[in-house]
Structure 1
Amino acid sequence: MIKRAFECFRQLNINCVAFLAVLPLFVFTFMFVIGPLIYMLVLSFLQRAEVWGIVNKFTFKNYMDIFEPVYLKTFIESFKLAITTTILIMIIGYPFGYFMAKLDAKWKKRMMLLIFIPFWTSSLIRLYGWIIIFRANGILDKLLMALNITEEPLKLLYTYPAVVVGMIYVLLPFMIFSVYSSAEKLDWSLVEAARDLGASSMQAFFTISLKLTLPGLLSGVVLTFIPSMGLFFIADILGGNKVVLVGNLIQEQLMKAHNWPFAAALSVVLMILTSVMIYIYRRISNVKELEGLV
């Protein structure tokens, strides 16, 4: 690549100009994407030093340690939390994005603005707002006691449901906009034709609308499932030490235990799991495209 760049400097033509235009992108990708991934993969097969740093000695121990019950349980709990979060986000986000696509242009802009406004503030600050809501004698407790639903303050903060709410709050917009972008392109005349042919509203939805908006739904699932396994700061803020995700485990190995090879191994496994999810999404999407062509 470097040799070709020097040749392009000597004799400029259209192909060389195009190559030089994309060369910074290749350099950036290698330095900040491919390079760190290779380093992380190599590091995961090295040994931890007795006190600090690493030892350049090949080993599979870091990957074998992941199968210890305490670490394997963390992966399982993270997977369960990701599934729970994704299902709840689907239940909330799909109808929101679907019906938002049916609004007129003026209300679409207003709804988008309401969804975008929280992004103007740091996610950490917004999560600390949930602490004010969930803490004992907080806003939620006072509201529930005022409505005579509860008689004493609830212990909602630093619990599993609090973490789930935090995950939903942070990731819900990704599902809404994924479904919205797909539903906005939907040909509503097909739904009307199904209704004219005798289909009920539910039948028209499941046979026409849901199938045509499925790519957007699958995109939202990927954009919510993958981050929910590694958003350790949400578990730290709203779950305390009671909810530990893979991201929390990686942070602990890096910052406290200083076991960088094991943290790299955990990161590689997490990356493989997310890659599998993306591969499944691509396969399902390709199948749906072929069915659409048929």
Structure 2
Amino acid sequence: MESYRNNFRVFLAFFTPSFGWLLLFFIAPLVIIFLYSFGETVSLTEVETTWTLQNYARLFEPEIVTLFWRSLALAGLSTIVCLVMGYPIALVIATAPAHWKPWLLLIVILPFWTNLLIRTYALLNILGTQGRVNNLLEWLWTQADGFFSLIGLGAYNIMGEDFEPIVFLGRWSGVIIGLVYVHLPFTVLPIYAALERLDRSFLEASLDLGASQWRTFRSVLVPLTMAGIVTAAIITFIPMLGSYLTPALLGRGQVDMIANVIERQFKGANDWPFGAAMSLFLLYVTFIILAIQAFASMRRKGGMSRG
């Protein structure tokens, strides 16, 4: 590739608009939020930067620490579920016939064509106490009760009393289902890319040497695609950690994540400095995760080069 110094004016013509956009709409707002995090609210719409650390000290209050741990736990559990579900899906797509792969990938990315708000409201219809899932479970309950009565076991009350709907909304289970539904494609695609680049002769050699399919999967396939798994985990976990709409609608105010409380600081509580401190703390956590991943990747590549 030709050096930018050879055609500096052309490079500047393409670079300036992009950098200006980044400076105006990314760096400048981030600097403002950074200054707010060291400030105090002096009026309804005015924040004075006093360089106080009080806003960051409030992050260690018990309820805020509990909120952060809950957000980490929800994002972590949802990421694990995405990996467990996403890896088989990616494996099926990678091993499918060539003419089926575009259609299977289309199914995976199809939810992106619909607005997130609409998809979340659809989940409300599915997971509600009168939703599709509970309607199906109630129908199955009724059919099972009728079957036991038909064969003469109804007198023993095997199915118990009337069907009790399962409550998903306002519970961890509902939020996790929503997070997995929204972010599952982010898990499938990196793993699929890693599987596509895989040299399948390693799998054939493992099977030829007498290893079972499970041993081959565990000892050969997973280690060779670990880079894709790590990438999928990171780009799934980080957006989950900052999710707002899914816990707001499916959590019903009972299962808040950090983004929901940040929103309340800026709107309801009118405490912009504390909201800014919470936002930047979330950004710091994201940077730490990315730095750990980059450091681990460098060590892995260094070990491979020495080997």
1:262 alignment counterpart: 274
State whether structure 2 residue 77 is matched by structure 1 residue 84.
yes
Note the C-alpha offset of 1:252: 0.3
2:58 alignment counterpart: 65
Distance in 1 of aligned mates of 2:279 and 2:134: 39
1:21 alignment counterpart: 14
Map Cα deviations across residues 68-90 of structure 1 (whole Å, 9 max, x no partner).
11111111110111111111111
User: 2:35–2:49: 8 Å Cα contact kept in structure 1?
Assistant: no
1:198 alignment counterpart: 210
Note the C-alpha offset of 1:19: 2.5
1:140 maps to a residue whose letter is V
1:9 alignment counterpart: none
Identify the range of structure 1 (12-21 vs 233-242) with the bigger mean alpha-carbon deviation: 12-21
Distance in 2 of aligned mates of 1:139 and 1:181: 35
Distance 1:192 1:292, change over 3 A: farther
State whether structure 2 residue 257 is matched by structure 1 residue 280.
no
Pick one of 111, 114, 121 that aligns with 1:121. 114
Q: Equivalences for 1:39-118 in 2 at 5 Å?
A: 39-49=32-42, 51-118=44-111
Distance in 2 of aligned mates of 1:49 and 1:74: 27
Distance in 1 of aligned mates of 2:303 and 2:217: 18
Distance in 2 of aligned mates of 1:196 and 1:169: 38
Note the C-alpha offset of 1:209: 1.4
Map Cα deviations across residues 40-69 of structure 1 (whole Å, 9 max, x no partner).
112111111254421232200100111111
2:12 maps to a residue whose letter is F
2:194 alignment counterpart: 182
Cα RMSD (Å)? 1.8
Between the aligned residues of both structures, percent identity stands at 32
Distance in 2 of aligned mates of 1:119 and 1:28: 25
Distance in 2 of aligned mates of 1:94 and 1:227: 19
Q: Scaled by the length of structure 2, what TM-score is found?
A: 0.87
Map Cα deviations across residues 124-161 of structure 1 (whole Å, 9 max, x no partner).
10111111111122211111111117822222222210
Distance in 2 of aligned mates of 1:73 and 1:226: 19
Map Cα deviations across residues 78-107 of structure 1 (whole Å, 9 max, x no partner).
011111111111111112112211111122
User: 2:129–2:165: 8 Å Cα contact kept in structure 1?
Assistant: yes
Q: Is there any run of 5+ residues in structure 2 with no aligned partner, and where?
A: 145-161
1:158 alignment counterpart: 170
State whether structure 2 residue 140 is matched by structure 1 residue 147.
yes
**Count of residue pairs brought into register by the alignment:** 283
State whether structure 2 residue 170 is matched by structure 1 residue 170.
no
Distance in 2 of aligned mates of 1:27 and 1:226: 26
Q: Is there any run of 5+ residues in structure 1 with no aligned partner, and where?
A: 1-11
Distance in 2 of aligned mates of 1:147 and 1:13: 72
Note the C-alpha offset of 1:249: 0.8
Note the C-alpha offset of 1:13: 7.0
Q: Scaled by the length of structure 1, what TM-score is found?
A: 0.91
Distance in 2 of aligned mates of 1:233 and 1:32: 22
Note the C-alpha offset of 1:266: 0.4
Note the C-alpha offset of 1:212: 1.7
User: 2:39–2:49: 8 Å Cα contact kept in structure 1?
Assistant: yes
User: 2:36–2:48: 8 Å Cα contact kept in structure 1?
Assistant: no
Map Cα deviations across residues 195-235 of structure 1 (whole Å, 9 max, x no partner).
22232222322332112211111111111111111111111
